[in-house]
Chains A and B, each alone.
Chain A
Amino acid sequence: MIYCPNCGTANREGSRYCNQCGAPLTPEEGIKCQICGAINSPENEKCTNCGASLKPAPSPEEKPAEELPKVPVFPEEIILTLEEEAPDFLADLRAKAQEVVLPEEERVEEEAEEEKEEEPIIILEERYEEEELPPTPAEEKPTVTVEYREEELPDWLKEAKEIVLPLEPSPPADWLKEVEIPWLEEEIVEVPALAEIPPWLEALRPIEEAPAAPPPEEEAEEKGVLQGLKGLLKPATIFEPPEKIPLRREVAELSLGSEEIQKLVKLKPAAPAVKIKAPPKEIRTHRLIHFILFLAVLIPMLIGWPSMPSGSPPTPLGVEKFFQTVEALPPGSFVLVAFDYEPYMAGEMEAVAYPVLAHLKGKGCRIALISLNPMGPALAQALGERVGLRYGEEFINLGYIPGVEAGLRALGTSEDWLVRYDYLQGKPLDSFPAFQSIKGLKDWNLIVLFSGQSSTLLGWIEQVGSVIEVPMVAGVISGLKPYAEPYLNSGQLKGLLGGMTDAAFYEAVLGKPSEATRAAPVQAFALLIALLVILAGSLTRGGSHA
Chain B
Amino acid sequence: MRKVIPILVAVLSGLTVLADFFITHPILDLVGRTLLQWAMIVAAFAFVAGLLNIFFTHTSRVFHREKGWGYSIVVILAMWAVLVFGFLEPEGPHGYVVSWIFRYVQYPLQATVMALLAFFALSAGYRAFRRRTLESTIMLLTTSLVLLGYAAIMTDLWPMSALKEWILSVPAMAGVRGILLGVALGITATGLRILIGMDKPYSD
A and B touch in the complex (CB under 8 A): yes
Contact across chains for B36 and A403 when beta carbons are under 8 A apart: yes
Closest CB pairs A-B (n = 8):
A542-B130, A344-B114, A524-B154, A313-B158, A545-B131, A537-B126, A286-B123, A343-B110
Residues of A within 8 A of B135 (CB): 545
Contact across chains for A544 and B122 when beta carbons are under 8 A apart: no
Does A299 count as interface, using CB distance less than 8 angstroms? no
Q: Give the nearest-CB partner of A423 in chain B.
A: B94
Residues of B within 8 A of A486 (CB): 173
Does B25 count as interface, using CB distance less than 8 angstroms? no
Q: Give the nearest-CB partner of A486 in chain B.
A: B173
Distance between B85 CB and nearest chain A CB, rounded to angstroms:
15
Residues of A within 8 A of B133 (CB): 544-545
Q: Is the interface of B mostly helix, strand, loop or mixed?
A: helix
Q: Which of A19-27, A258-266, A287-295, A327-335 lies at the binding interface? A: A287-295
Q: Give the nearest-CB partner of A403 in chain B.
A: B40
Residues of B within 8 A of A481 (CB): 168
Q: Is the interface of A mostly helix, strand, loop or mixed?
A: helix
Contact across chains for A540 and B130 when beta carbons are under 8 A apart: yes
Contact across chains for B155 and A482 when beta carbons are under 8 A apart: no
Contact across chains for A524 and B111 when beta carbons are under 8 A apart: no
Contact across chains for B115 and A314 when beta carbons are under 8 A apart: no
- Select A533's contact among B91, B126, B153, B172, beta carbons within 8 Å: B126
- Select B119's contact among A290, A425, A485, A535, beta carbons within 8 Å: A290
Q: What's the interface size class on A, roughly?
A: 35 or more
Cα–Cα, bound, A345→B103 (Å): 14
Q: List CB contacts (< 8 Å) of A264-309 with chain B.
A: 285-286, 289-290, 293-294, 306, 308-309
Q: A-contacting residues of B (Cβ < 8 Å)?
A: 29, 33, 36, 39-40, 91, 94, 99, 102-103, 106-107, 110-111, 113-115, 118-119, 122-123, 125-127, 129-133, 135-136, 140, 143-144, 147-148, 150-156, 158, 161, 168-169, 172-173, 176
Cα–Cα, bound, A525→B118 (Å): 13
Distance between A7 CB and nearest chain B CB, rounded to angstroms:
42
Contact across chains for A534 and B172 when beta carbons are under 8 A apart: no
Q: List CB contacts (< 8 Å) of A464-508 with chain B.
A: 478, 481-483, 485-486, 501
Residues of B within 8 A of A153 (CB): none
Cα–Cα, bound, A413→B21 (Å): 11
- Select B148's contact among A293, A531, A542, beta carbons within 8 Å: A531
Cα–Cα, bound, A379→B91 (Å): 17
Cα–Cα, bound, A116→B197 (Å): 73
- Select B130's contact among A293, A342, A537, beta carbons within 8 Å: A537
Q: Give the nearest-CB partner of A375 in chain B.
A: B102
Residues of B within 8 A of A347 (CB): 111, 114-115
Contact across chains for B144 and A344 when beta carbons are under 8 A apart: no
- Select B151's contact among A313, A343, A423, A524, beta carbons within 8 Å: A524
Does A527 count as interface, using CB distance less than 8 angstroms? yes
Residues of A within 8 A of B29 (CB): 413
- In the complex, given contacts A481-B168, A482-B169, A543-B130, what are 9 additional A-B residue pairs having Cβ atoms less than 8 angstroms apart? A293-B119, A382-B107, A403-B40, A523-B154, A530-B122, A534-B126, A534-B129, A541-B130, A545-B136
Contact across chains for B131 and A524 when beta carbons are under 8 A apart: no
Q: Give the nearest-CB partner of A542 in chain B.
A: B130
Contact across chains for B151 and A542 when beta carbons are under 8 A apart: no
Distance between A136 CB and nearest chain B CB, rounded to angstroms:
58
Contact across chains for B126 and A285 when beta carbons are under 8 A apart: yes
Does A521 count as interface, using CB distance less than 8 angstroms? yes
Contact across chains for B147 and A531 when beta carbons are under 8 A apart: yes
Contact across chains for A482 and B173 when beta carbons are under 8 A apart: yes
Cα–Cα, bound, A108→B102 (Å): 95
Does A378 count as interface, using CB distance less than 8 angstroms? yes
Contact across chains for A289 and B123 when beta carbons are under 8 A apart: yes
Given A309-B158, A345-B114, A528-B147: A534 in contact with B40 (beta carbons within 8 A) = no
Distance between B197 CB and nearest chain A CB, rounded to angstroms:
23
Given A293-B122, A528-B147: A482 in contact with B130 (beta carbons within 8 A) = no
